Amino acid sequence: MLSTVLHSRFLITTLVVFIILLISTIFTWKITSDLAEQESKNRFYQDSLKIQSLIQVKLKLYILGAEGLAGFVEESDNVSRDEWSAYIKKVNLIKDYPGLASISYIEKVENKDKLIFVEKVRKDYPDFNIYPQTNKEEYFVVKYIEPLLVDNEEALGFDVSSETKRLKAIEIARDSGKASSTGKIILASTNTPGFSFLIPVYKNGTDLNNPNERKANIKGFVYPVFRGDAIFKAAYGEIDLFPEVDFEIYESENLSGDSLLYDHDPSYKISQTQTKPGLYTKEALSIDSQSWVILIAVKEGFGLTKSQQLLPTTVLVAGLSFSFIFLGLFLRRFKQNP
């Protein structure tokens, strides 16, 4: 009788220990899985912040370079073509700024001064004309451009305000006193996406306390044009720092090809792909007065080393194996000692 009771207690104790081992295994597996997932989220969060910071810092650096040129133009009553070209070469504004396709000076020309302006510029460019030909109160005309290549020469004389999209950017930059982006444009020289900024230049020594004063005293704009792929790649260098992450930059909330400025990995479409919760983010990318949209998401194999990825499975297999080995050994002993 006593032997039967002891046997029953031994069996119950064995089963209780086995259940505790199973619960402990599942609990440990859940903890390690959660830690691995959290580690992925932490790394993704850090990469997301780094991507945004690199792009913002790089573009701000380029804008600061263009603003320095704007200051140089503003201090002069009438910058000549040679002075314009010499300044850009002196500070290596093209050479040291990869992704900068060209940089132009756009001058405000009132209708009454149109013919005089054209005649003056023809001393440097004999075939110069303002185009498209329209009759309005004022024009914003490309007067100088660097580098002076064949494709770029075609931009000379272009009235930037003749296009609705660029006119809006002109008005924003003029009235705010800050750089304003024209948004996505297709570069004629490469037929690839790009974008540009308009940086206002005002008459030297004038009051600029409000939009009306800035509008009355606008002199022109410095106009850097960027190659989309080149400028964003320049933000993180020649080596891809984020091979396991894709990011796409859009000029607006319209997440379509029409507003896409840059795609880090064209073979992976974030806006069309189901992404893991916590490993996808949509953020506002602020560049001066401009606000773009950046989508960032992980790709396959992101975040953890192979050993980190296998750790939860290893814990689960090891725990279950130990639990069933324990159960088997004690059941065998139970049978051997009836």
Other Cβ atoms closer than 10 A to 131: 15
Q: Is 100 helix (H, G, I), strand (E, B) or coil?
A: strand
- The residue assigned the tokens 């004022």 is 138
Rg of the chain over all Cα atoms, to the nearest angstrom:
33
Helices (H), 92-158: 114-121, 150-153
CA distance 178 to 171: 11
Residue ending a domain, among 232, 257, 282, is 232
Listed range (164-173, 284-293, 317-326) with the worst mean pLDDT: 317-326
Alpha helices in 76-98, H assignment, sequence order: 81-90
Please give the Cα distance from 135 to 272 (Å, whole number): 46
d(CA 214, CA 100): 28
Question: Same domain for 15 and 96?
Answer: no
Residue 70 lies in a domain: yes
Domain membership of residue 237 (yes or no) is no
Final residue of a domain: which of 213, 232, 251?
Answer: 232
CA distance 261 to 290: 13
**Are both 163 and 123 inside the same structural domain?**
yes
Work out the end-to-end distance of the chain between its first and last CA atoms, rounded to an integer number of angstroms: 12
Does the pLDDT value for residue 277 go beyond 90? no
Residue 123, domain CATH: 3.30.450.350
Angle made by CA atoms 33, 37, 39, in degrees to the nearest 5: 115
Residue 23: domain span: 2-38+305-336
Tell me the per-residue pLDDT of 24-68, one tens digit each, with 9 for 90 and over: 767 766 766 666 666 777 788 888 899 999 888 888 888 899 999
pLDDT reported for residue 229: 81
28 and 76 co-located in one domain: no
Same domain for 80 and 198: yes
Q: Which of 105-109, 150-154, 230-234, 308-312 has the highest mean predicted lDDT (pLDDT)?
A: 105-109
pLDDT in tens, 186-221: 776 677 788 889 999 999 888 889 999 999 999 999
Mean pLDDT in the chain? Answer: 81
pLDDT at 234: 81
Give yes or no: residues 181 and 326 share one domain: no
* Residue of 269 and 248 predicted with greater confidence: 248
Alpha helix (H) ranges present in 148-262? 150-153, 164-176, 211-216, 228-236
8 against 112, higher pLDDT: 112
On whether residue 7 sits in a domain, the answer given is yes
The mean per-residue pLDDT over the stretch 11-36 comes to: 68
Q: Which residue has the higher pLDDT, 333 or 313?
A: 313
> How many residues are given for the chain?
338
Tell whether 27 is covered by a domain.
yes
Q: What is the pLDDT of residue 305?
A: 52
Residue 193: predicted pLDDT: 80
pLDDT score at 155: 87
Which pLDDT belongs to residue 206?
87
Do 84 and 150 belong together in one domain?
A: yes
Q: Are residues 326 and 215 in the same domain?
A: no
Q: What's the confidence (pLDDT) of residue 290?
A: 77
The answer to whether residue 251 is domain-embedded is no
The answer to whether residue 320 scores a pLDDT higher than 80 is no
For residues 21 and 98, membership in a common domain is answered with no
d(CA 143, CA 118): 10
pLDDT tens by residue, 221-236: 999 998 888 888 888 7
282 assigned to some structural domain = no
Q: Which residues contact 101 (CB under 8 A, 6 or more apart)?
A: 187, 189, 190, 194, 225, 226, 227
Question: Residue 12: inside a domain, yes or no?
Answer: yes
User: What pLDDT is recorded for position 2?
Assistant: 44
Extract the tokens encoding 278.
């916590």
Residue 98's pLDDT band, with cuts at 50, 70 and 90, is: confident
CA dist., res. 320 & res. 21, Å (int):
8
Which pLDDT does position 218 carry in this prediction? 96
Phi-psi region of 195 (alpha: psi -120 to 50; beta: other; left: phi over 0): beta
pLDDT at 315 over 70: no
Task: Identify whether residues 33 and 148 lie together within a single domain.
Answer: no
Q: How far apart are CA 249 and CA 260, in angstroms?
A: 6
Query: pLDDT exceeding 70 applies to what percent of the chain?
Result: 76
Q: Are residues 225 and 183 in the same domain?
A: yes
pLDDT for residue 118 is more than 90:
yes
Q: Answer with the one of 205, 232, 259 that is the final residue of a domain.
A: 232
Q: Are residues 81 and 22 in the same domain?
A: no
Domain count along the chain? 2
Phi, psi (degrees; rounded to nearest 5) at 267: -80, -10
Q: Is residue 85 part of a domain?
A: yes
Say which amino acid occupies 45: Y
Give the residue-averaged pLDDT of 278-286. Answer: 82
The whole-number pLDDT of residue 103 equals 93
Q: Give the per-residue pLDDT at 195.
A: 87
Q: CA–CA separation, 62 vs 84, rounded Å?
A: 17
pLDDT at 3 over 60: no
Helix, strand or coil for residue 97? coil
Q: Which long-range contacts (CB under 8 A, 24 or more apart) does 123-126 make?
A: 124/81, 125/153, 125/156, 125/157
Whether 192 and 102 map to the same domain: the answer is: yes
